[in-house]
């Protein structure tokens, strides 16, 4: 009888580990970035999207975005956060503003991580930025200077290294005669960082206003 009891005990002891394996800790958070997009708002590139939790509830998330130039140099960064608990199956929106400067953002990387050590990324995404998106912003950066001398209108442009081919400007010139004066507006296309001269036929003239009305961007970032 004693031998039979020992045999049963051994069978139970061997069978025990599979039962305990079912109680092992579950996998870590399954948090992903979805619907990531970008837009230009004034002097900032806004990166937005959603954080979706496809795993167990998680508390405290941080979203970091880094912006890079055409040469791959980091030129801007920003963050957003979800400090509360994100339930399983839950979604939260995020938005990060990346400041724009003289060097434009060619692409950016965004990632979401737990807001506690080791801060390992749970999900990340990378997106490039279409050059045409910057047109309104570039319009605010380029410069044009106009002068009159010896019956000529002299127009100079400054693109400051921006991806611009041509700047279109509207210039109003004040003409003065003995008993009269009048205004005339001309539209001039100036190559980026170039100079254009236009004959106006009068020496007695002065610049009234200069207004940039359009830019022609380069066809690609690498032009």
The predicted model gives 41-49 an average pLDDT of: 96
Using an 8 Å Cβ cutoff, are 106 and 129 in contact?
Answer: yes
Flag whether pLDDT at 124 surpasses 90: yes
Taking the CB of residue 162, how many other CB atoms lie within 10 A of it?
19
The pLDDT of residue 23: 33
The pLDDT of residue 14: 35
Taking the CB of residue 19, how many other CB atoms lie within 10 A of it?
8
Task: Return the ∠ at Cα 38 (arms to 191 and 108), rounded to 5°.
Answer: 80
Confidence bin at 29 (pLDDT 50/70/90): low
Query: Mean of the per-residue pLDDT values for the chain?
Result: 86
Q: Which two tokens stand for residue 198?
A: 């236009």
- Give the whole-angstrom CA distance, residue 48 versus residue 41: 12
How much of the chain exceeds pLDDT 70, in percent?
A: 86
- Give the whole-angstrom CA distance, residue 39 versus residue 133: 8
The pLDDT of residue 100: 95
Taking the CB of residue 92, how many other CB atoms lie within 10 A of it?
16
Task: Return the ∠ at Cα 118 (arms to 116 and 122), rounded to 5°.
Answer: 85
pLDDT in tens, 82-100: 999 999 999 999 999 999 9
- Give the whole-angstrom CA distance, residue 47 versus residue 43: 13
The pLDDT of residue 12: 34
Flag whether pLDDT at 13 surpasses 60: no
Flag whether pLDDT at 75 surpasses 90: yes
Confidence bin at 48 (pLDDT 50/70/90): very high
Which residues have a Cβ under 8 Å from the Cβ of 68 and sit 6 or more positions away?
Answer: 74, 75, 105, 106, 107, 108, 109
The pLDDT of residue 22: 33
The predicted model gives 132-146 an average pLDDT of: 94
**pTM of whole model > 0.75?**
yes
Confidence bin at 223 (pLDDT 50/70/90): low
Q: Which of 42, 38, 37 is nearest to 136 (CA)?
A: 42
The pLDDT of residue 120: 86
**Torsion (CA) 141, 142, 144, 145 in degrees, nearest 10:** 60
Flag whether pLDDT at 111 surpasses 90: yes
């Amino acid at each position: 009888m004693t031998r039979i009891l020992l045999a049963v005990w051994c069978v139970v002891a061997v069978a025990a580990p599979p039962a305990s394996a079912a109680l092992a800790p579950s996998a870590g958070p399954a948090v992903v970035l979805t619907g990531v997009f970008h837009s230009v708002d004034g002097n900032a590139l806004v990166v937005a999207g959603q954080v979706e939790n496809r795993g167990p509830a998680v508390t405290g998330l941080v979203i970091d975005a880094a912006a890079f130039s055409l040469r791959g140099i980091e030129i801007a960064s920003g963050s957003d956060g979800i400090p509360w608990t994100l339930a399983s199956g839950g979604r939260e929106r995020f938005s990060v503003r990346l400041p724009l400067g003289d060097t434009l953002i060619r692409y950016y990387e965004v990632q979401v991580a737990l807001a506690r050590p080791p801060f390992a990324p749970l999900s990340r995404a990378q997106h490039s930025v279409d050059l045409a998106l910057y047109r309104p912003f570039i319009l605010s950066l380029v410069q044009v200077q106009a002068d009159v001398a010896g019956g000529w209108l002299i127009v100079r442009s400054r693109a400051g290294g921006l991806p611009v081919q041509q700047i279109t400007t509207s210039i109003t010139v004040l003409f003065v005669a003995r008993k009269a004066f009048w205004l005339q507006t001309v539209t001039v296309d100036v190559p980026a960082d170039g100079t254009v001269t236009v004959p106006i036929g009068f020496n007695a003239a002065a610049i009234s206003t200069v207004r940039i009305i359009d830019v022609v961007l380069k066809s690609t970032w690498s032009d």
